[in-house]
Chain A
Amino acid sequence: MTVAARPSRFALGRRFLKDPVLWIAVALIFLLVGLFVGFPVYKLLERSLFVNGQFSLQTYADLFQKSYYLRPFFNSLHVGVVTALIGTLVAFVFAYALNRTNVPFKGLFRSVALLPIISPPFLLALAAIFLFGNQGYFTKLLGIDFQIWGFNGLVLTETLSYFPIAFIILEGVLRGIDPALEEAAFNLGGSRLRVFLTVTLPLAVPGLASALLLVFVESLADFGNPMVIGGRYTVLSSEAYFAIQSFNIPRGIALAIMLLVPPLVAFLLQHYWVSRRSRVTVTGKPSSSNLKQVPRVLRVSLTFIVFFLSGIILLFYGMVIFGSLAQAWPFDNTLTLNNYYQALNRAGEHFKDTLLIAGIATPISGILGMIVAFLVVRKRFAAKNLLEFSTMLTFALPGTVVGIGYILAFNRQPLLLTGTALIIGLAFVFRNMPVGVRAGVASLQQIDKSIEEASTNLGAGTTRTFTCITLPMILPAMFAGMAYSFVKCMTAISAVIFLVSGKWQLVTVEILGQIDNGNYSMAAALSTLVILICLGVLAVMWLFVGRSAMERIVGGN
């Protein structure tokens, strides 16, 4: 038998005519991702190859020689590695205690562990100053100088800031390991330690690797904490910002390039190595297990550790609230609500701008994320892997790199966007979309594709199937993506600090300015307001999703 291939000349045209909407959507998404993810990075690389308009590798030669490049590079790596190790360990203890043992107050501990996700990135640094700064309460109480400025402070605040991400990953991994596997090992006579070492831990290794890489990347990209508590300990993100601030563009570009490399390596490791080694298979609903009855000693010590860590987090947040109520810490500690009045009066415009941009960017990134997820999971088209890869790549790009890339890419006609709200919104949309894409992909993979095929079969085109069938089914994923996106809009600083202008101001930038001026109490009040807004919006979203068809979908056939 021979299969005669159809003349391929017309194949593309025919496929286009069969489903034009699909192809237009794919083309549009490629264009957008290319323009707002690829192009700025390309611009950055291009500019790095030219010195004074001449092609030159001087920038790269300098990277390996000049200490003003090498020092922040190794400092960043140092902080990143230490933070990743401690953060992942803490996260694993939390995840193991909450999912494999019978420690009390699980709901409370989980909420506390997730709290840092919804706060501005420098909030914990602010709290660290209240506690361990030169005038800090602990410093004065114990009379010890903690040397909070620099490496110690960065590791402390970044660990607390980013271990929640590792916690989410590891909790997912542990939940994905069927307790029956561990029960089988016990049944064969293994001790608890042996079962942990030979079953639980090996199965969690890919998850641990993912968590390590992610915390490392987050720590490296962190901008807020180094700005507040870095002191003279120079790291790449803040150095790049200072370079751009002082109009030393080439140096800013060079530092941005250095900042770009480690996350890219980590991303590629994750993409091509770690994810291939994942052996966790979801085999229906994990049965409830009796293994949670752990020995008393273990239970008490795990409870103590989790309690202690939660206590630290709560202490940090309490400190920010406390600090916000002081007239002007550390000089005048009288309790007052004055800072809040001031905050709403003076920074009202900032809140308005932030909320407006966030309010528009959030639904756009949510819907765009679902469209990309739909295309990636359900449709077959050329360069599909490239699309998925490049949207995920966005996630690995440090905000500072994106910010510098944006000002290089969009500072002249016909793409003159600098100074507008649009460029801030675009940065938000494309930086936050990947989380929605991931949630959408995960959600769609759980949904039987014959549901959508039934819609097509009954005569619905791609658009109708997506809006009437797919979108309602993955609504929870969209809201998850939107919740993340909104919180990020409210709390992000690293990319957008390059994009704000006199006309469009963001709250986070204002907070940083207040810290810079030593107005710690004012900064604390603003931060508290940001957290309250995030919590409020999250609560509303949760109510909305709860009321929607979510339960019906969860109980689906």
Chain B
Amino acid sequence: MPSSNTIQLKGVNKVFGEGENRVVAVDDLTLEIAQGEMVTLLGPSGCGKTTTLRMVAGFETPSSGDIYIGGSAVNQVAPNKRDTAMVFQSYGLFPHMTVFENVAYGLKIRKVPRKEMRNRVLEVLELTGLKGLDRRAPQQLSGGQQQRVALSRAIVVQPKVLLFDEPLSNLDAKLRVEMRGELRKLQQRLSITSLYVTHDQEEAMSISDRLCVMHQGKAQHIGNPTEVYARPANRFVADFIGQANFLEGTVERTNGQRVQLRVLNALLDAPLHRGSLAIGDRVEVLVRPEGVDLTDRGRGDMDGVIQFAQYTGARATYEVKLEGGNRLTVESANPQERGLRSQGEVVGVLLHRKSLHVLPKEG
């Protein structure tokens, strides 16, 4: 596979409607996807992620800005001439064709000789675990199998780029987790440049090289999963990815890399990953539920009361009310060893300094 199968979006905008009905679906999006990379557009519904994907596929035309596939501009290229292959949310299988015919469709259009076509289709079906099902009608397959047919149909044409439009959203929870692993392995094995769209942050985290978190048409944060999770660019990203607690604080001291904050009555030292802060600035501190330890009263950074406790075996989740009324969700792994806390108990709350993330207060 040539090494130049990249996707580039440069200042892409998409506006629907005019006048009062004008909606900016995608707002000045710039994004580059390297050869073999899997990038996921992640965001709530209506954030512009699907519109972006459809612009890459050619089903929508950017209002302005340019899209490049493999280095050449495709704005004026019809969708059927772009050499992208898409896996649709509802699979889009041809109901009047067998599995074989579905997968062979793209090869037929590319005028691949009969014999080679047959070999390639059967090879792909084997790769996706559909061996022996080639004569079935799509309706005779389970949801997971239909999904695999859609995937087979896309990869068999060896496209420059693969596009995924929430491909797993129609599967049940267990299958979804299983399929995403398979999908990622296959993508890595074939090293196909891929753009993936989902609103499921766990799915996005687990399969992507990089994420592009979108909100109201804008890219909020582009980065690899660990970075987006641990050091989100803003409050929206922090809140959207994983569970987030926010504590308000004031900057007491700063040296550019670390800050000392006053949060409630505690003084906290935290790393500063983004921007610069001055003494006296109001900040929000992101505290992930697993970045908190519960200890005995008076031995933590602050005290709190357990308002609600949920035990699920591998972990326990607590809702802790802090002094001053703030609430904190705390997740404690391995509760058997650490001991379960009970409702009403007064506890000390210890925040892991390393996992704190400081954001300037918005608004």
Contacts and interface: CB of A to CB of B under 8 A. Distances in A.
A453 B57 CA distance: 10
A1 B85 CA distance: 32
Given A473-B96, A553-B96, A557-B146, A455 B91 contact: no
Nearest to B28: A1
A4 B10 CA distance: 14
Contacts of A553: 95-96
A3 B157 contact: no
Contact of B95 (A1, A4, A457, A557): A557
Given A5-B64, A451-B95, A557 B139 contact: yes
Nearest to A550: B96
Contacts of B15: 3
Nearest to A465: B80
A458 B105 contact: yes
A459 interface: yes
B63 interface: yes
Contacts of B90: 448, 450, 557
Contacts of A461: 78, 80
A451 B28 contact: no
B245 interface: no
Nearest to B86: A457
B189 interface: no
Interface residues of A, number: 33
B76 interface: yes
B64 A6 contact: yes
A456 interface: yes
A243 interface: no
Nearest to A20: B78
B314 interface: no
B201 interface: no
Given A14-B76, A456-B80, A472 B92 contact: no
B210 interface: no
Contacts of B150: 454
Interface string A440-479: 0000000010111111111111001000110011000000
Nearest to A1: B28
B223 interface: no
Interface in B80-94: 80-81, 83-86, 88-94
B115 interface: no
A451 B92 contact: yes
Contact of B78 (A18, A455, A458): A18
B27 interface: yes
B85 A458 contact: yes
Contacts of A552: 95-96, 137, 139
Given A5-B64, A461-B80, A557 B153 contact: no
A4 B65 CA distance: 9
B24 interface: yes
Contacts of B77: 18
A19 interface: yes
A189 interface: no
Contacts of A4: 64
Interface SS, A side: helix
Interface SS, B side: mixed
A457 B137 CA distance: 21
B92 A454 contact: yes
B173 interface: no
A28 interface: no
A180 B80 CA distance: 44
A119 B354 CA distance: 85
A448 B90 CA distance: 8
B236 interface: no
B86 A453 contact: yes
Contacts of A5: 63-64
Contacts of A3: 13, 15, 24, 63-64
A488 to B, nearest CB: 28
Nearest to A462: B80
Contacts of B348: none
A265 interface: no
A147 B65 CA distance: 77
Nearest to B78: A18
Contacts of B153: 454, 458
Contacts of B83: 459
A5 B84 CA distance: 26
Nearest to A448: B90
Nearest to B27: A1
Given A552-B139, A557-B91, A459 B106 contact: yes
A556 interface: yes
Contacts of A532: none
Nearest to B59: A453
A4 B90 CA distance: 34
Contacts of B81: 459
Contacts of B86: 453-454, 457
Nearest to A549: B96
Interface string A518-557: 0000000000000000000000000000000100110111
A432 B52 CA distance: 42
A451 B64 contact: no
Which of A5, A454, A555 has the largest number of chain B CB atoms within 10 A? A454
Which of B79, B96, B137 has the largest number of chain A CB atoms within 10 A? B96
B94 A456 contact: no
A375 to B, nearest CB: 17
A451 B91 CA distance: 8
Interface string B147-191: 000100100010000010100000000000000000000000000
A554 B96 CA distance: 10
Nearest to A18: B78
Contacts of B13: 1, 3
Interface string B18-39: 0000001001100000000000
A549 B96 CA distance: 6
B30 to A, nearest CB: 12
Interface string B83-123: 11110111111111000000001100110000000000000
B138 interface: yes
Contacts of B110: 459
Nearest to A452: B92
Contacts of A453: 57, 59, 79, 86, 88, 92
A455 B104 CA distance: 11
Given A453-B59, A469-B94, A473-B95, A460 B64 contact: no
A17 B76 CA distance: 9
10 contacts: A5-B63, A6-B64, A18-B78, A453-B79, A453-B86, A454-B86, A456-B80, A457-B163, A459-B83, A552-B95
Interface of B: 13, 15, 24, 27-28, 57, 59, 63-64, 76-81, 83-86, 88-96, 105-106, 109-110, 137-139, 146, 150, 153, 157, 163, 165
Given A454-B86, A459-B80, A472-B96, 11 more contacts: A14-B76, A19-B78, A448-B92, A450-B92, A451-B92, A453-B57, A453-B88, A454-B88, A549-B96, A553-B96, A557-B139
Interface of A: 1, 3-6, 14, 17-19, 448, 450-461, 464, 468-469, 472-473, 549, 552-553, 555-557
The 10 nearest A-B residue pairs measured at CB: A458-B106, A454-B92, A450-B92, A450-B88, A556-B95, A459-B109, A549-B96, A18-B78, A472-B96, A451-B92
